[in-house]
């Protein structure tokens, strides 16, 4: 990274700090030595703080651009499948035909999970949220895949990444069939990544799931769109947990936990719930009003983003995919989709949303598409987690490959009581 000089003045003292620039994006003041000068910076929520350098994904919030290893998301979602994209994120380049064949073979070799992991499911109530079950089962992998755990060994890291990428669709779909009291369906490696997941979700011993290529392609696109997004909350969680050298399965389980929140990956499920609660177009005004009311903690789910200030490119692609899927299923008058289109139109014309630069994000339409594919609301964030595992393992690997990597340990501004003594009793 190129380095220039910057200067800050504190208590009339000038402090020189390097100014670093990446290949794209805003410059950053390198404050690593600031504590030696007797002060910290304060930035809860990391609004203006780069926690690391990374070459994986670039998000341009002003222009609504998303690049995975330099490739625009629009091209990747059109021309690639999810395995290509997961390979690109981890290795830095799209696979050649030979590399893809070998990669697919490795992934296919890991799609089954240890038979005893089945008993972890049994510990959960049937009505447990699939995300709770996935956190438990993925974390339990730490107790079953204990070989090749040297985090400084790139081959060991690659093996753990493969295992996670290959097993998450199995673990996620089994969380769903378990909730229905149905037998788990084993992976069929010849169906491709998205097709295999849909088959494990919806086929059963007495009923074969009929793969529809348009629906399978739609799910491939959903997985690609959700695969990575630089230092979002769940990826930052994985990096922080991984910085202590923790077991990769524990790291990814922590990412799933963070993604579950309704402000993050849980927003797709919350958006569907909100649309169902609004019910019809006459009630949209009431909810827009609530979203603007400071005394009401209601937020328009699927709207707003920390970085995108005019459009989330993924939401645009998702909206088109939504049309394609609903047309294929003769559902283009699907009431929730019509309601979402009207809600988006009204919100985008409202002064409050314009001033605060609030636009539909990736979660606004994804739930409608997934519901049309037959995926229940409770599984939307589970699908997000399966996709984001590609980004999580890539960032985890990039961090551990960085010789300058240190354990993450933020400081604080202490606002508690000054030192005091316990009064004699």
Active-site positions read 305, 363
Q: How is residue 186 annotated by DSSP? A: P
Binding string, residues 200-229; x marks residues near ligand SDX by CB under 6 A: -----------------------------x
Residue 309 as a binder of ligand SDX (CB under 6 A): the answer is no
Segment near ligand SDX (CB under 6 A); pick from 33-41, 136-144, 295-303, 324-332:
295-303
Q: How many CB atoms lie within 10 A of CB 314?
A: 27
On whether the CB atoms of residues 321 and 218 are closer than 8 A, the answer is yes
| 232 versus 394: smaller Cβ distance to ligand SDX | 232
| 115 versus 297: smaller Cβ distance to ligand SDX | 297
Segment near ligand SDX (CB under 6 A); pick from 107-115, 145-153, 246-254, 358-366:
358-366
On whether the CB atoms of residues 259 and 266 are closer than 8 A, the answer is yes
Site size toward ligand SDX (CB under 6 A) is 20
Distance, in Å, from the CA atom of 354 to the CA atom of 348, rounded to the nearest integer, reads 6
Of 304, 311, 325, 393, the residue at the interface with ligand SDX (CB under 6 A) is 304
Q: How far is CA 150 from CA 162, 294, 400, in A?
A: 15, 50, 11
Cβ neighbours of residue 345 closer than 8 Å, sequence gap 6 or more: none
Of 299, 309, 323, 338, the residue at the interface with ligand SDX (CB under 6 A) is 299
Which tokens hold the place of 241?
């947990």
Closest CA to 384 of 361, 359, 362: 362
- Alpha helix locations (H) across 51-117? 73-79, 82-91, 97-108
Segment near ligand SDX (CB under 6 A); pick from 80-88, 124-132, 173-181, 359-367:
359-367
Closest CA to 185 of 168, 173, 167, 172: 173
| 344 versus 363: smaller Cβ distance to ligand SDX | 363
Q: How far is the CB of 267 from ligand SDX (least distance, A)?
A: 3
Residue 302 as a binder of ligand SDX (CB under 6 A): the answer is yes
Q: How far is the CB of 361 from ligand SDX (least distance, A)?
A: 4
Residue 358 as a binder of ligand SDX (CB under 6 A): the answer is yes
Of 232, 243, 381, 394, the residue at the interface with ligand SDX (CB under 6 A) is 232
Helix (H) or strand (E) holding 275: helix 267-278
Q: How is residue 413 annotated by DSSP? A: -
Closest CA to 221 of 381, 80, 68: 80
Q: Distance between alpha carbon 200 and the CA centroid of its chain, in Å?
A: 22
Segment near ligand SDX (CB under 6 A); pick from 85-93, 127-135, 162-170, 354-362:
354-362
Of 303, 337, 359, 365, the residue at the interface with ligand SDX (CB under 6 A) is 303
Name which of residues 360 to 379 contact ligand SDX (CB under 6 A).
Answer: 361-363
Q: How is residue 360 annotated by DSSP? A: B
6, with CB counted inside 10 A (0-12, 13-18, 19+), is middle
| 169 versus 266: smaller Cβ distance to ligand SDX | 266
Q: How far is CA 400 from CA 144, 145, 157, 245, 395, in A?
A: 22, 19, 9, 8, 9
Please give the span between the terminal C-alpha atoms of the chain, in angstroms, as a whole number.
60
Residue 291 as a binder of ligand SDX (CB under 6 A): the answer is yes
Residue 305 as a binder of ligand SDX (CB under 6 A): the answer is yes
| 73 versus 117: smaller Cβ distance to ligand SDX | 73
Of 100, 110, 158, 306, the residue at the interface with ligand SDX (CB under 6 A) is 306
Segment near ligand SDX (CB under 6 A); pick from 1-9, 48-56, 330-338, 353-361:
353-361
Residue 180 as a binder of ligand SDX (CB under 6 A): the answer is no
Of 301, 315, 375, 385, the residue at the interface with ligand SDX (CB under 6 A) is 301
Name which of residues 29 to 58 contact ligand SDX (CB under 6 A).
Answer: none
Of 104, 110, 264, 273, the residue at the interface with ligand SDX (CB under 6 A) is 264
Closest CA to 372 of 329, 415, 401: 329
Q: Distance between alpha carbon 352 and the CA centroid of its chain, in Å?
A: 27
Which tokens hold the place of 329?
């299923």
Q: How many CB atoms lie within 10 A of CB 211?
A: 17
Q: How far is the CB of 274 from ligand SDX (least distance, A)?
A: 10
| 145 versus 380: smaller Cβ distance to ligand SDX | 380
Q: How many CB atoms lie within 10 A of CB 222?
A: 31
Segment near ligand SDX (CB under 6 A); pick from 20-28, 103-111, 161-169, 304-312:
304-312
On whether the CB atoms of residues 242 and 399 are closer than 8 A, the answer is yes
| 18 versus 261: smaller Cβ distance to ligand SDX | 261
Could you list the residues that contact ligand SDX (CB under 6 A)?
A: 229, 232, 263-265, 267, 291, 299-306, 356, 358, 361-363
């Amino acid at each position: 990274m190129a380095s220039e000089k910057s200067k800050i003045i504190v208590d009339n003292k000038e402090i020189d700090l390097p100014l670093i620039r990446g290949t794209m994006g805003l410059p950053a003041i390198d404050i690593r030595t600031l504590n030696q000068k007797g002060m910290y910076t304060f930035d809860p929520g990391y609004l203006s703080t780069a926690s690391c350098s990374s070459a994986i994904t670039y998000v341009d919030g002003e222009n609504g651009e998303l690049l995975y290893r330099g490739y625009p998301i629009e091209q990747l979602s059109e021309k690639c499948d999810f395995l290509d994209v997961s390979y690109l994120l981890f290795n830095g380049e799209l696979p050649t035909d030979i590399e893809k064949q070998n990669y697919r073979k490795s992934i296919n070799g890991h799609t089954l999970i240890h038979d005893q992991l089945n008993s972890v499911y049994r510990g959960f109530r049937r009505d447990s949220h699939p995300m709770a079950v996935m956190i438990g089962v993925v974390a339990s992998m730490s107790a079953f895949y204990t070989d090749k755990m040297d985090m400084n060994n790139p081959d060991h890291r690659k093996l753990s990444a493969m295992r996670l990428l290959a097993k998450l669709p199995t673990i996620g779909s089994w969380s769903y069939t378990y909730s229905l009291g149905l037998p788990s369906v084993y992976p069929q490696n010849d169906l491709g990544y998205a097709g295999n997941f849909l088959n494990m979700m919806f086929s059963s011993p007495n009923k074969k799931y009929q793969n529809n290529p348009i629906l399978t392609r739609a799910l491939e696109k959903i997985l690609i769109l959700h695969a990575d997004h630089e230092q979002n909350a769940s990826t930052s969680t994985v990096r922080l947990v991984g910085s202590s050298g923790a077991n990769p399965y524990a790291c990814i389980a922590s990412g799933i936990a963070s993604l579950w929140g309704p402000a993050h990956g849980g927003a797709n499920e919350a958006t569907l719930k909100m649309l169902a609660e609004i019910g019809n177009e006459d009630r949209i005004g009431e909810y827009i009003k609530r979203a603007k009311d400071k005394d009401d903690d209601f937020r328009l789910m699927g709207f707003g983003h920390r970085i995108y200030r005019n459009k989330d490119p993924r939401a645009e692609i998702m909206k088109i995919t939504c049309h394609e899927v609903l047309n294929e299923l003769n559902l283009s008058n699907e009431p929730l989709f019509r309601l979402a289109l009207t809600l988006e139109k009204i919100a985008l014309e409202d002064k409050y949303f314009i001033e605060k630069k609030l636009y539909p994000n990736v979660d606004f339409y994804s739930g409608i598409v997934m519901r049309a594919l037959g995926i229940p609301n409770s599984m939307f964030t589970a699908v997000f987690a399966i996709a984001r595992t590609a980004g999580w393992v890539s960032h985890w690997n990039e961090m551990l490959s960085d010789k300058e990597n240190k354990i993450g340990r933020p400081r604080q501004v202490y606002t508690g009581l000054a030192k005091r003594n316990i009064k004699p009793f």
